[in-house]
Amino acid sequence: MRIGLLDIDGHSGFPNFALCKISAYWKKRGAEVEWYYPFGKRYDIVYCSKVFTFTPDYEHHINADEVFKGGTGYSLTKELPLIIENMQPDLSLYPKFKSALGFLTRGCIRRCSWCVVPKKEGDIRPYTDIKNVLQDRKSAILMDNNVLACDWGISQIEKIGDMGVKVDFNQGLDARLVTPETAKLLAKVKWIRHPRFSCDTIQIFESVKTAIELLRKYNYKGEIFVYVLLTEDIRECYKRIMALDFLDWTESGVRMQKIRLFAQPYIDYSNKKSIPKWQQDMARWVNNKKLFYSDNFENYEPRKGFKCKEYFK
């Protein structure tokens, strides 16, 4: 059997979790597995995976007896067969990727309008143990959507701290669920980069602030990443960004450079609306630290003769 793997989103170097599991399944059965090569080869099966809805589909002929398509970009309901889902991912497909990759939990308790996770995965539930994810590696990228929302996830964080392995919860942590007890566990974790939170509305700001304060209380000294979704109200977005930036200053007026903001325009793919110019400019200002640290948004001049204060008139 010759199996071809086709990552529709592009072979970026970050592992496609489903394709890694499919590879492991077929290699265990003695099949030849490789990235799909369109010229001069015929495959028994080609698996196409598309994570993002906005990624264009592969429009060329696929030289295979069978073609299977899956992933959020194709369907929210299509799942891997259980026997493949239970496989350990074959990370040898990505030789430059040194960490392990996986989930400790699946699903989420939230119902955010912009997120497909509740529709695709349902409520939060245990998935696997950190030791199963690691596969003898010393660090792990964990893709949980809300690991703090169940007792299993919290017990896994405690275990990670005790084991001393490095991790990154790359989908972020729910600041609303950070308590003194969980903050103490998180502060003990060795992070590949930094803890990540999301502040998508001004209503969540106080929870983010409390979470940051608790981490510092329990002696977390590193950087904290805060993802900022830019929604329709420019004044609300700007207020949120400035409130978050204020947390990075000491009482004596010194910037610690410990809170890293990343702004992302909200993209409504269902209505195919274009991103407003002010969101593009605000994201560019926030995400370029030289610009962000040098002046406020109103004085930012993204184009000659135009200052962003015009957006507020």
Give the right CATH number for 93-312 from 3.30.420.40, 3.10.310.40, 3.40.50.970, 3.80.30.20.
Answer: 3.80.30.20
Q: What is the C-alpha separation between 128 and 285, in angstroms, rounded?
A: 40
pLDDT of residue 114: 66
Distances (CA, A) of 49 to 5, 7, 55, 59, 225: 8, 5, 11, 14, 29
pLDDT of residue 111: 81
pLDDT of residue 119: 78
Mind listing the pLDDT tens digit of every residue in the chain (313 residues)?
A: 999 999 999 877 899 999 999 999 999 999 999 999 999 899 999 999 999 888 899 999 999 999 999 998 898 888 999 999 999 999 999 999 999 999 999 998 888 776 778 778 889 999 999 999 998 999 999 999 999 999 999 999 999 999 999 999 999 999 999 999 999 999 999 999 999 999 999 999 999 999 999 999 999 999 999 999 999 899 999 999 999 999 999 989 999 999 999 999 987 656 566 889 999 999 999 999 999 999 999 999 999 999 999 999 9
Q: What is the C-alpha separation between 100 and 136, in angstroms, rounded?
A: 8
pLDDT of residue 241: 98
Q: What is the C-alpha separation between 213 and 207, in angstroms, rounded?
A: 10
Contact 19, 5 (CB under 8 A): yes
Burial label for 137, CB within 10 Å (0-12, 13-18, 19+), is: middle
